[in-house]
Chains A and B, each alone.
Chain A
Amino acid sequence: MKNQRRQLLKAIGIVGLVPLQQAHATPEEAASAINRIVGTNAVKEGRVQLELASLIENGNLVTIKVSTDSPMSQSDYVKAIHLVAERNPLPNILSAYFTPQSGTANFTTRIRLADTQRVWAIAQMSDGSFYQTYADTLITSSACSEGFI
């Protein structure tokens, strides 16, 4: 009798957890999203910086600032910057595309973050090389908790 009750509770526990796990992407899905961007190229660290508050009260509107170290000349410029989240429903956040006439490969925008997580920035240079960086954030009220589910 006691054993059955224990099994039942276990079963409820498993059923209850499944939808939670499916609601967000996993770091593996973010890694595969990054793989789709970079292909088989090696990704180096550096040259791109992320400015994101480490503690965020509301995940619905988070200001994110991206800056890149590049001369932005005709022969050496940043082609694109991709932002990828590890625990949002979809890993992709935004992709920005630049030209030498952009002057800088810096931009600011406002994004949604569903959970405490790591955000990646991948910069694609005109010579085909890739650079990456990340920022960790702690979200106290996520973009999913109220009116989202």
Chain B
Amino acid sequence: MSKTSRTLITMPKTARKGEIIEIKAIVQHDMETGFRHTEQGKLIPRDIIRVFTCQFNGVEVFKADFFPAVGANPLLIFTVIATTSGTLQFSWAGDDGYLATNQSQITVT
């Protein structure tokens, strides 16, 4: 079974058609850089989230590639146009088979 962790999405439940909504997506993850050593001098292997995607009713509207310079518990605040009612799906995929998903409904009037 692949690794996963907690995620949190903050966004409006309803919106007018064509409105630009702001989405806050945060995920619990250490984002181990692969540059740190233990006290014994052993290199701690890299373990990061590589890619975040946001799909609106199955169509990708936003994507981000993460590198080790992204801070622990990565936060992204971005925008999407509310076109129709439906589901926004969020996914975070990373090293060592890591995968976290979340989804949120929106009603567009």
Contacts and interface: CB of A to CB of B under 8 A. Distances in A.
B71 A60 contact: yes
Interface in A96-116: 96-99, 101-104, 106-113
Interface in B6-40: 20-21, 33, 35-37
Q: Which of B78, B80, B81 has the most CB of A within 10 A?
A: B78
Interface stretch (A2-10, A46-54, A85-93): A85-93
Contacts of A111: 69-71
A118 to B, nearest CB: 14
B101 interface: no
A90 B69 contact: yes
Contact of A101 (B69, B71, B80): B80
- Residue of A85, A102, A106 with most partner-chain B CB within 10 A: A102
Interface of B: 20-21, 33, 35-37, 56, 59-72, 74-81, 83
B66 to A, nearest CB: 6
A99 B62 contact: yes
B71 A61 contact: yes
Interface of B: prevailing SS: strand
Interface string A77-89: 0000000010011
A103 B67 CA distance: 25
26 contacts: A61-B71, A89-B35, A90-B67, A90-B68, A92-B67, A93-B69, A93-B70, A94-B66, A94-B67, A94-B70, A96-B64, A97-B62, A97-B65, A101-B59, A101-B80, A102-B81, A104-B20, A107-B76, A107-B79, A108-B78, A109-B76, A110-B75, A111-B69, A144-B35, A148-B36, A149-B37
A108 B60 CA distance: 19
Given A106-B78, A112-B71, A94 B65 contact: yes
Contact of B61 (A85, A90, A102): A102
Nearest to B61: A101
Contacts of A85: 69
Interface in A55-89: 60-62, 85, 88-89
A62 B70 CA distance: 9
Given A97-B65, A102-B81, A109-B77, 7 more contacts: A60-B71, A85-B69, A90-B69, A96-B63, A96-B78, A108-B77, A112-B68
